[in-house]
Amino acid sequence: MWDSESSAGRRLPSEAERHVARMSRFPKSVYRHGTEPDVRFSLANERTFLAWIRTGLALIAGGVALELLGVDLQSSFRLAAALVLIVAGILTPAFGWIGWMRSERAMRLQEPLPGSPLGPVVAAAVSLAGILVLLGVLLR
Amino acid sequence: MTSKLFDPGLQPERTELAWRRTALAIAVGSLVAMRLLPGVFQDPLWVIPGVVGLVLSSGLWVGARGRYAAYNRALEAGDLASIPDGRLIAVVAVAATATGVLGLVVAVVATA
């Protein structure tokens, strides 16, 4: 069967091939459930995940820079602030991945979208790091 | 390559741009790491994390390109089951977490 709409004249996959494609998609914990959601929602889910990745990388970069660039702060508060930022930066990609999987699965099952602990975690970590840096300035 | 516009909201295009931003962020971070780490540890071998990051960044750029093309192919054929899956997403999550662990080690060792 040939697709007359397709400019490249590409053959449409058979039902069996579609089944194989569905079964080989990773992770199975997502794709073995439900039916295909509106692609635009999957794409939005993907962009949300990538935004969390960039947030995590920024947290890591900030924490490492604070320690490496020799900022003039009381040294144990500086290290504590750096560690808070870096640990938040490690948690963010992990939770981002879990959140991507849970959202994708919920969309496939037409269930309500799950919440994410990431917002509060990042907010708490950045606030705490800010307080530690402030103390580091005051006590140097 | 694309004969029809799938979505007037340009979702596939915006998603590819989000991948590019992520790849560029990794490239910039890797270049800074290449500049700083060998000096901090007095050892030229510390350019390696930055080099690995740059390789990963270019891989992501190419991967995002392929992903965008695959999205368009699947949408054009109306074959939603062959839409790209979570592989590249998992790679990015693992790489970002590993970057964080390396950052933790660097911060602690640099202090000691």
Share of chain A above pLDDT 90, in %: 77
pLDDT in tens, B78-97: 888 888 999 999 999 999 99
B89 is written with which tokens? 């997403």
For B98, name the nearest residue in chain A, comparing CA atoms only.
A90
Mean pLDDT of A107-130: 96
pTM of the model: 0.89
Chain A residues within 8 A of B100 when measuring between CB atoms: 56, 60, 86-87, 89-90, 93
Distance CA B108, CA A42 (A): 39
pLDDT of residue A19: 64
From CA B86, how far away is CA A32, in angstroms rounded?
13
Nearest by CB to residue B80, choosing from A39, A49, A101, is: A39
DSSP state of A38: P
Q: Is residue A7 part of a domain?
A: no
Distance between CA A132 and CA B43 in Å, rounded?
31
Domain assignment of residue A78, yes or no: yes
Q: Quick count: other Cβ atoms within 10 Å of Cβ A51?
A: 14
Residue B111 has pLDDT above 90, yes or no: no
Residue A133 lies in a domain: yes
Contact state of A57 with B18 under an 8 Å Cβ cutoff: no
**Domain contains A107:** yes
User: What phi and psi values does residue A53 have, to the nearest 5 degrees?
Assistant: -60, -45
**A10 domain residue, yes or no:** no
User: In chain A, pLDDT over 70 holds for what percent of residues?
Assistant: 84
Which residues contact residue B59 at a Cβ distance below 8 angstroms, ignoring those fewer than 6 apart?
Answer: none
Q: What is the pLDDT of residues A65-89, one digit of tens each?
A: 999 998 899 999 999 999 999 999 9
- Domain range for A40 is 15-138
Residue B100 contacts A where some CB pair is shorter than 8 Å:
yes
Q: Tell me, what's the pLDDT at A21?
A: 59
- Of the two residues B81 and B99, the one the predictor is more confident about is B99
Task: Say whether residue A14 is in contact with chain B using an 8 A CB cutoff.
Answer: no
pLDDT at A56 over 70: yes
Instruction: Please state the rounded mean pLDDT for residues B13-42.
Output: 95
CA–CA min distance A128, chain B (Å): 17
Question: In angstroms, rounded to a whole number, what is the distance separating the alpha carbons of residues B47 and B69?
Answer: 34
Question: What pLDDT, on a 0 to 100 scale, did the predictor assign at position B31?
Answer: 96
Count CB-CB contacts under 10 A for residue A118.
20
| The amino acid at A12 | L
Of B21, B79, B100, the CB nearest to A56: B100
Share of chain B above pLDDT 90, in %: 76
Provide the domain count of chain A.
1
A5 part of a folded domain: no
Which A residues 36-95 touch B at CB under 8 Å?
Answer: 36, 39-40, 42-44, 46-47, 49-51, 53-54, 56-58, 60-61, 63-64, 67-68, 75, 79, 82-83, 86-87, 89-90, 92-94
Residue A43: predicted pLDDT:
95
* Contact between B103 and A29 (Cβ < 8 Å): no
The mean pLDDT of B16-25, rounded to a whole number, is: 97
A13-27, B19-33, B63-77: least confident range: A13-27
